[in-house]
């Protein structure tokens, strides 16, 4: 997979001037294979296994380019990604980071869906409010100015998951964000990955609570509370699905305390066992 990812970078219609591959403690001869296959076309560095954030940060710290982009080993760029995003940043000097749509595919290559970035960021420019409501990033979709990395910093190495959401929120708090509304990358789904870890919900909530606190006064208070309530409900549902009932109901109570809108209340209602559901329904009708 890593060779497929690198090949997709080498196939860009606008040549990429620097390719840094961080081998995060692999034990299958990856480093030797890459040196043999690509030689001086890539810079390959090895480190003891430290996680995805540490690997990305190592590469970002080494990069010398004016524009920086990210790619995980199981993803690909489509040929026009670099050209379209560089052109966008050149034409829009006030935008710090530009995203693109992503084709999400199954292991057999069949299309699952398209991650449409306009559904999250409807208008280019200041984006904290919409990102707070839906902090999905997809790192392979990113191209950013070096100044973004220099002012915001890298990925939080204390997070095993949700590090991309945290980075997205920190960028949105300080920089305008734009979208090239075309599918310019392909992401593999349906295989074991970090999102399958049991800590996923805990990391997500940790990130959202920190971002929500930081956003006080920067977005309308009603929107801030609804965004946090949405995060609680989403992760309460995930906890219940995993059998983490105590954690799921704890998050559900937090969401309820924020006075969520009816759509979220209905989702909360579906999480409750029979007796509790009847009690809440009675309260809702009063």
Identify the CA nearest to 189 among candidates 80, 98, 102, 71. Answer: 102
CA distance 60 to 79: 22
Q: What is the pLDDT of residue 197?
A: 58
d(CA 68, CA 51): 20
Following DSSP, what letter does each residue of 122-154 receive, concatenated? -SSB--HHHHHHS----GGG-EEEHHHHHHH-S
Report the pLDDT averaged over residues 71-89.
97
- SS3 category, 189: coil
Q: How far apart are CA 139 and CA 69, in angstroms?
A: 8
Using alpha carbons, select from 12, 174, 172, 169 the residue that is nearest to residue 86. Answer: 12
- Angle 265-266-268 from CA coordinates, rounded to 5°: 65
Token output for 154: 């890298």
Q: Identify the pLDDT of residue 284.
A: 53
Rounded Cα gap, residues 103 and 33, in angstroms: 28
Burial 104-127 (b: 16+ CB within 10 A, else e): bbeeeeeeeeebebeebbeebebb
Residue 269 has pLDDT above 80, yes or no: yes
| Angle subtended at Cα 202 by Cα 198 and Cα 204, rounded to the nearest 5 degrees | 110
Chain-centroid distance, C-alpha 160: 13
Residue 274 has pLDDT above 90, yes or no: no
Rounded Cα distance, 78 and 57, in Å: 24
Residues 6+ apart with CB under 8 A from 170: 152, 153, 211
Contact 133, 109 (CB under 8 A): no
Residue 247 CB coordination number (10 Å): 18
In this predicted structure, the answer to whether residue 276 has a pLDDT above a threshold of 60 is no
Which of 76-80, 119-123, 224-228, 265-269 has the lowest average pLDDT? Answer: 265-269
Q: Is 19 exposed, middle or buried (0-12, 13-18, 19+ CB in 10 A)?
A: middle
Asked if residue 207 has pLDDT above 70, the reply is yes
pLDDT value at residue 174:
97
Q: What is the mean pLDDT of residues 10-38?
A: 94
**Cα three-residue angle 211-213-214, rounded to 5 degrees:** 65
């Amino acid at each position: 997979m890593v060779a497929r990812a690198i090949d997709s970078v080498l196939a860009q219609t606008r040549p990429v001037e620097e390719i840094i591959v961080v081998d995060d403690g692999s034990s299958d001869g990856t480093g030797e294979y890459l040196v043999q296959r690509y030689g001086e076309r890539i810079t390959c560095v090895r480190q003891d296994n430290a996680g995805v954030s540490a690997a990305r940060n190592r590469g970002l710290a080494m990069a010398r380019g004016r524009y920086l982009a990210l790619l995980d080993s199981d993803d690909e760029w489509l040929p026009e990604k670099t050209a379209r995003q560089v052109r966008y940043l050149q034409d829009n000097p006030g935008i710090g980071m530009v995203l693109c749509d992503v084709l999400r595919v199954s292991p057999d290559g069949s299309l699952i869906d398209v991650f449409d970035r306009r559904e999250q960021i409807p208008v280019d420019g200041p984006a904290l409010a919409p990102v707070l409501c839906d902090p999905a990033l997809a790192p392979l979709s990113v191209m950013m100015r070096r100044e973004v990395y220099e002012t915001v910093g890298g990925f939080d190495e204390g997070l095993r998951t949700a590090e991309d959401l945290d980075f997205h929120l920190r960028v949105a708090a300080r920089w305008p964000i734009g979208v090239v509304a075309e599918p310019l990358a392909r992401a593999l789904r349906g295989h074991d990955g970090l999102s399958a870890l049991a800590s996923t919900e805990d990391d997500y909530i940790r990130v959202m609570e920190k971002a929500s606190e930081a956003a006080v006064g920067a977005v309308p208070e009603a929107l801030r509370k609804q965004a946090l309530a949405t995060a609680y409900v989403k992760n309460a549902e995930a906890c219940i699905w995993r059998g983490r009932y105590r954690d799921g109901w704890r998050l559900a109570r937090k969401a309820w305390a924020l006075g969520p809108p009816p759509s979220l209340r209905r989702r909360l209602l579906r999480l409750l066992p029979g007796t509790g559901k009847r009690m809440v329904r009675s309260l809702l009708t009063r």
